[in-house]
């Protein structure tokens, strides 16, 4: 038991150590990699995926998955961009984008809670449907956003970017929601065992529903950041992001089996790991496909580490 415990702790630290070593490795080849400018640049670049992963983390702690988040990002930004073009203001179109995210999250929640469809299957369906809907709205064309947008997306005070700060605030809020509220405790309880949670009389259905709504809203904010950074909404917005988000969450030590993990540290660790690899390989001028390969290997290692960990805890029980 003690040995298992040590191993578990070691696995908890495996990715932070990995992250530090990889960063140092890149810095050895290219010392400016660890310059403050580049570090904050990475924190800026990872803001969209970090926000989407925050919602994913909440769902995963519940022992479920939502792979429609990237498509939700596309639909809400598609709607928002179209509204902007037809003369709506910045505020109103952004609020509507957020509402679209909430609504699509509610659609997921409805399919999962009321129609009782397995979350993976349900969101696989909505991933395809929502993407179709998003492309319908934008005609699969690139919609260029007003100049102010791009300025906001890359606005910084000194070296600290605006979206990094908002991302951190959202992370802390969702983390507190998970750790410090009744809602969050029910989320963890569902991740432990949904049947037991129901037997104890917890509001299981309501909690699952609203978790998907929250994840949908965070997906639309992530979409906002992503399109603001480039100043346009393209039909590729959010494509594959949901899977990156799952990987981020797993690398961050949040168990796919539910009930375990810290949203704040998990999402920061996970997003940073992938961003460091991407940015570092970029620095070295590596082929972009090589990044996909390395990313895949990292995901595999994270899954394997998680499997070892849960294997041990299952034996302990």
Catalog residues that contact other proteins under the rule CB under 8 A.
176, 180-182, 185, 188-189, 191-193, 196-197, 199-202, 259-260, 313, 316-317
- 171 vs 187, which CB is nearer to other proteins? 187
- 48 vs 252, which CB is nearer to other proteins? 252
Whether the CA torsion 104, 110, 113, 115 is positive or negative: it is: negative
- The candidate with the shortest Cα–Cα distance to 242, out of 110, 115, 126, is 126
- 128 vs 199, which CB is nearer to other proteins? 199
Whole-angstrom Cα distance, residue 95 to residue 86? Answer: 16
- 257 vs 291, which CB is nearer to other proteins? 257
49 Cβ contact list (under 8 Å, min separation 6)? 222, 241, 244, 245, 248, 271, 274, 275
The structure tokens listed for 137 are: 């709205």
Q: Is the distance from CB of 79 to CB of 227 less than 8 angstroms?
A: no
- 17 vs 200, which CB is nearer to other proteins? 200
CB of 61 to other proteins, least distance (A): 9
CB of 29 to other proteins, least distance (A): 41
CB of 117 to other proteins, least distance (A): 17
CB of 197 to other proteins, least distance (A): 8
- 181 vs 292, which CB is nearer to other proteins? 181
- 87 vs 201, which CB is nearer to other proteins? 201
CB of 194 to other proteins, least distance (A): 11
CB of 314 to other proteins, least distance (A): 10
CB of 265 to other proteins, least distance (A): 16
Whole-angstrom Cα distance, residue 20 to residue 80? Answer: 39
């Amino acid at each position: 038991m003690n040995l298992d415990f040590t191993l578990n702790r070691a696995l908890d630290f495996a990715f932070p150590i990995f992250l530090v070593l990889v960063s140092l490795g890149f810095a050895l080849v290219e010392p400016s990699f660890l310059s403050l400018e580049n570090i904050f640049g990475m924190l800026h670049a990872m803001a969209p995926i970090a926000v989407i992963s925050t919602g994913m983390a909440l769902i995963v702690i519940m022992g479920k998955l939502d792979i429609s988040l990237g498509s939700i990002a596309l639909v809400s930004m598609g709607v928002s961009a179209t509204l902007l073009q037809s003369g709506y203001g910045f505020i109103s179109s952004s609020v509507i984008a957020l509402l679209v995210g909430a609504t699509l999250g509610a659609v997921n929640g409805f399919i999962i809670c009321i129609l009782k469809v397995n979350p993976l299957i349900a969101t696989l369906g909505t991933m395809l449907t929502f993407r179709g809907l998003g492309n319908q709205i934008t005609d699969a064309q690139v919609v260029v956003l007003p100049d102010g947008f791009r300025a906001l997306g890359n606005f910084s005070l000194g070296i600290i970017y605006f979206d990094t700060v908002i991302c951190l605030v959202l992370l802390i809020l969702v983390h507190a929601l998970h750790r410090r509220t009744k809602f969050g405790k029910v989320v963890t309880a569902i991740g432990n065992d949904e049947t037991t949670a129901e037997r104890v009389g917890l509001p299981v259905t309501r909690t699952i529903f609203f978790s998907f709504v929250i994840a949908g809203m965070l997906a639309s904010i992530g979409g906002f950041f992503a399109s603001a950074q480039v100043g346009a909404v393209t039909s590729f917005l959010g494509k594959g992001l949901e899977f990156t988000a799952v990987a981020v969450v797993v690398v961050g030590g949040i168990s796919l089996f539910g009930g375990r993990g810290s949203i704040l540290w998990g999402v920061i660790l996970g997003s940073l790991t992938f961003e460091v690899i991407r940015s570092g390989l970029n620095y070295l001028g590596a082929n972009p496909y090589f990044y996909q390969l390395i990313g895949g290997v990292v995901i595999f290692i994270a899954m394997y580490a998680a499997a070892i960990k849960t294997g041990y805890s299952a034996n302990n029980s």
